[in-house]
Every structure is written in structure tokens, then in C-alpha cells.
Amino acid sequence: MTVKAFGAYAGDKPLEPMDISRRSVGPHDVRIEIVFCGVCHSDIHQVRSEWAGTLYPCVPGHEIVGRVSSVGAHVTSHQVDDLVGVGCIVDSCKRCDDCSDGLENYCDHMVGTYNGPTPDAPGHTLGGYSQQIVVHERYVLRISHPEEQLAAVAPLLCAGITTYSPLRHWNVGPGHKVGVVGIGGLGHMGIKLANAMGAHVVAFTTSESKREAAKALGAYEVVVSRNADEMAAHIKSLDFILNTVAAPHDLDAFLVLLKRDGTMTLVGAPATPHPSPEVFSLIMKRRSLAGSMIGGIPETQEMLDFCAEHGIVADIELIRADGINEAYERMLKGDVKYRFVIDTASLAA
Ligand code: NAP
Ligand code: ZN
């Protein structure tokens, strides 16, 4: 089936309208009419070929919400008319230890929602900046938020799970002082989620303009990281730091804020490496530097249910598909509070 989409034909070209095809529904497939799709900074890295291996045409988008329009004969978990979501994963081997543990995100054969290998035309997956997608039922999530919140639910499918998973893995909860570095799409969700888990949240931003806004999101304290005195006030005091920054920066400045046995987990994925941190920043207090990538399907469902229960959604700015190039430029300047979401109805116009 041919549907309308927005994507790029090369890394140095703006995104533009294109027609793409979606496969017919197989026995375990779910066809979804996409209603909204969030705009992740990974979309920019990938569509502009900042990470290795982008295939063109590239249709980004892995924060997908929509309504089921048909299901395959063997589908048991979803029905026509259900509100559902699709995040960063549309396939995996389904057999390895990672898949068996529900950690499909770490499967060596995980297929990303865009730019992943597939027998479908054109030979790589095409993402959510489109009217429709067909996905194996295993990778389709249930949404129980009220329908009027649907646009603001979309960013949970990547920004939400990417921050929820490490906060859970490192057991963040009451009594913990937790830093969230970089208050963009991921960071603002990190503040909301760590707050809902009961932690004392400290937001670290390079943007003076986000000082008050970060408090409104649930941070008890806000540090403008360019201010050395403000940083010094938190030395050796944090149990855990979630670092979402999309660009290379000085990691030592944050590692020294951890108390003994503290961990800083990197989820930001800049196009070029960070300067290597000092070994002494790690050994002096037995600190750890770690990484984490999105989350598995069961944990993504757990995160969506947690957010529905706690009334958590993203703070969004709704845009038309043809506003995507301008939205990218604004994201690169940090000028978004805090996630752009495409209204896919605009693709038909
Ligand atoms: P975003 O909305 O653009 O936010 C990134 C934030 O980083 C900015 O708002 C800014 O916050 C801070 N920042 C500081 N210096 C920066 C600079 N020179 N350039 C850009 N940002 C700077 O991005 P996002 O969608 O949250 O994604 C953040 C990173 O996570 C990206 O690299 C993305 O690819 C990656 N990511 C990783 C995973 C994973 O699984 N690990 C999943 C999704 C995304 P302040 O203004 O507060 O300083
Ligand atoms: Zn993403």
C-alpha cells in the first residue's frame, strides 16, 4: 500500500514529501494509522548521516502513536480501533538471551523502526513521519492514557523509555539525589520520571532560560552548568546522574559530583566522542560511568502504564510535517520545550 511520508534523499538535503509503500499485513502483523509522531534528536543524527550507515531515502520517526486499522489472522494482543504505540524497535531475532529476557533493545539483530534491514521495499525500514506503518504485534504497545493526551504520549515511546529504563536499572527512588543533565526531550522526561519515582532531582542545564521551567517539570534544584560555583555546591553529593546531552562535553565536571559508588549513565549519543574522562575522577570514589540504550518491549509497556497511572506525558509543541526542517534547526539551538510532535493529518494536505 502506498502512503504519504516525509523524509530525505541525502544527508545534506532537507526533508521533503515522498510516497512510500507499506507491506501487506502478515499473520502476526498490525497495521497502524499513525496519528502523531514525536521528533527525537536521534532523527537529526541519523537523517543527516552524523552516525555511520544511514540509508536513503530516510524516513525518520520512532515515537509513533496511532490507531489499529487491521490485524493479521494470528494476532492476539491487539484489535482494530485500539490506540497503540511503536517505539524504536520493529523486529529482533526473538530467540537469543536478550530477546528471551525482554531486552530486545540489546539483541544483536534488533531492527530499528527506521534505517534497519528488512525484506520490505526499499530494503531498509522507514519510520513514523508517515501516515501508516505495519509492525509485528510483539513490538506494538498498548496505550491507556486518555485519547486527548495522545500527541503528548508519543514522546514516551523513545524519550520516555530511554530515561525510565536506566532510572529503574540503577534503582532510583526515595532518598536518592539524582542529577539529570541536558533538559531537552529526554532530559525533561528524566526529571518527570525520577520525580515520580520519589528521588530528589537536580537538573543541570546550559540554558539560563530553563532555570524556572526545570523546576516546573519536577526538579527541586536547578544548576546552570556553565556556573562553576553552582556546580561546586553539588560535589560528591549525587547518587546517580542521567546524562542526555546530544553533544561532546567535559564528563569530569559531572563525575566529580557523584558520591562514593555513584554512577553516571550516558544516554546522549553525540556524533563525535566526548573527551576521555580522567581515571582519577572514577577511582577516587569508586565511581562508575555507564551507558544505556532505549529499553525492551516489556519495560516500555511498564513505562507507559506507569506514566498513565501517574498522569505523566511529555510537554510538546505540535507541528505540521512540512515544519520539520525548521523544527530541526530550533532543536539544534535548544529552542524547544520540550518535544516537537508531528500531526500526521498534515501529510494528507
Ligand atoms: P534534545 O531534545 O535536542 O536535547 C538535548 C539537550 O542537550 C539540549 O536541550 C541541551 O539541554 C543539551 N545540550 C547541551 N549542549 C548541547 C549542544 N552543544 N548540542 C545539543 N544539545 C546540547 O535531544 P534529545 O532528543 O533529548 O536526545 C538527546 C541525545 O540522546 C541525542 O544524542 C540522541 O541521539 C540521544 N538518544 C539516545 C537514546 C538511547 O537509547 N541511548 C535514545 C534516544 C535519544 P540544555 O539546554 O538543558 O543544556
Ligand atoms: Zn529517539
Question: 157: which residues sit within 8 A by CB, 6+ positions away?
Answer: 38, 62, 63, 64, 65, 85, 86, 87, 88, 141, 300
157 closest CA partner among 274, 331, 40: 40
Do residues 341 and 154 touch, judged by C-beta distance below 8 A? Answer: yes
Residues with CB under 5 A from ligand 2 (ion): 40, 42, 158
Question: Per-residue pLDDT for the chain (349 aa), expressed as one digit of tens each?
Answer: 899 999 999 999 999 999 999 999 999 999 999 999 999 999 999 999 999 899 999 999 999 999 999 999 999 999 999 999 999 999 999 999 999 999 999 999 999 999 999 999 999 999 999 999 999 999 999 999 999 999 999 999 999 999 999 999 999 999 999 999 999 999 999 999 999 999 999 999 999 999 999 999 999 999 999 999 999 999 999 999 999 999 999 999 999 999 999 999 999 999 999 999 999 999 999 999 999 999 999 999 999 999 999 999 999 999 999 999 999 999 999 899 999 999 999 999 7
How many whole angstroms from 255 Cα to the centroid of ligand 2? 25
What CA dihedral angle connects 140, 197, 177 and 204, to 10 degrees?
50
Question: 228: which residues sit within 8 A by CB, 6+ positions away?
Answer: none
For ligand 1, whether the C-beta of 70 sits within 6 Å is no
Q: What gap in Å lies between CA 95 and CA 104, rounded to an integer?
A: 10
Do residues 220 and 200 touch, judged by C-beta distance below 8 A? Answer: yes
Q: pTM of the predicted model, to two decimals?
A: 0.97
What CA dihedral angle connects 139, 143, 148 and 149, to 10 degrees?
-80
Which atom of ligand 1 is nearest to 269's Cα? Answer: 32
Ligand 1 mutation target, pool 63, 169, 186, most atoms within 8 A of CB: 186
Over its C-alpha atoms, the chain yields an Rg (Å, rounded) of 20
Torsion angles phi and psi, residue 151, rounded to 5: -60, -40
Q: Residue 107: helix, strand or coil by DSSP?
A: coil
